[in-house]
């Protein structure tokens, strides 16, 4: 059973986001980004209440901006998804979770060393240029 319900169009949308956010970090980096996307759709807490679908997660607006920078900037996100990214997205949707993004709801590229917290959330690890953060203990049990 998949971690979240999805359609073929969701796989393609998620694949586009994974590529746009982490193409330079290879398949592993794209899987970590995909993990965060699925975690946000699964966790009904904090900034991600009532997000149940992949499009709701991808197009979420917070503070007047899209949560994912790639939606706003229109870089690779607006290119058609390739089969390799679709396979990775489907893997995330169906079962794949791994440290440092296993429980992560946030990531960012600081252009340097990862801070120990990000908006009060604890650092779980880094993969290449991206730092991953999971919710503080007790604030989002559904993601665990």
pLDDT tens track for 103-129? 999 999 999 999 999 999 999 999 999
Fold of 8-143: Arc Repressor Mutant, subunit A (1.10.10)
Query: pTM to 2 decimals?
Result: 0.96
* Confidence at residue 73, expressed as pLDDT on a 0 to 100 scale: 85
Q: Which residues pair with 108 in a beta bridge?
A: 131
pLDDT tens track for 26-43? 999 999 999 999 999 999
Q: Where are the domains of the chain?
A: 8-143
């Amino acid at each position: 059973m998949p971690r979240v319900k999805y359609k073929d169009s969701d796989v393609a949308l998620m694949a586009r986001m994974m590529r746009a956010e982490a193409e330079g970090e290879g398949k592993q980096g794209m899987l970590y980004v995909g993990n965060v996307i699925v975690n946000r759709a699964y966790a009904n807490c904090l900034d991600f209440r009532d997000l149940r679908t992949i499009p709701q997660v991808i197009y979420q607006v917070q503070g007047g901006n899209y949560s994912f920078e790639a939606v706003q900037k229109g870089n690779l996100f607006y290119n058609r998804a390739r089969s390799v990214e679709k396979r990775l997205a489907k893997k995330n949707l169906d079962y794949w979770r791994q440290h440092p993004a296993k429980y992560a709801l946030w990531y960012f590229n600081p252009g340097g060393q990862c801070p120990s917290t990000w908006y009060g959330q604890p650092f779980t690890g880094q993969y290449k240029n991206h730092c991953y953060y999971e919710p503080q203990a007790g604030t989002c049990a559904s993601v665990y």
